[in-house]
Amino acid sequence: MKLPHRENAYVPAKKLSDYLLSETHPVGRLKSRFFRSMGFAEANIGFLEQQLLALAYSEEVQAMVESPYGRKFIIEGYLQTPAGLSVSVRSVWILEADDVHPRFVTAYPV
């Protein structure tokens, strides 16, 4: 199955700058080390966003989990990096009740 309403998926800008690429966020800083080592940074944040959206659009959902906030979808696949590598990541997207805009939650290497 593909991500429902994947054509409406979005990545909140602050989720990338203040979390996934943040070197000081209590949880995000660990993920930041990985993404920064692959060449992702604030200077090319748009490229990271494009790669995550491409993953959400093209890959199959691996699992769906009901949560108090909505349905979470786990999608695995490969991101192209600014360093010229292809890296395997797991991404999580949430579709809140009565919404048609899947929102990016997190990503990490697998």
In angstroms, what is the C-alpha Rg of the chain?
13
Contacting residues for 53 by C-beta, under 8 A, at least 6 apart: 9, 10, 11
Query: 36-68: per-residue pLDDT in tens?
Result: 999 999 999 999 999 999 999 999 999 999 999
Mean pLDDT, range 28-40, rounded to an integer: 95
- Give the up-direction half-sphere exposure of residue 57: CA atoms within 13 A in the CB hemisphere: 12
Amino acid at 97: A
Please state the pTM of the whole predicted model: 0.95
Give all strands (DSSP E) within the chain, no chain letters: 61-67, 70-80, 86-95, 103-109
Mean pLDDT, range 75-91, rounded to an integer: 96
Give the chain's largest Cα–Cα span.
39
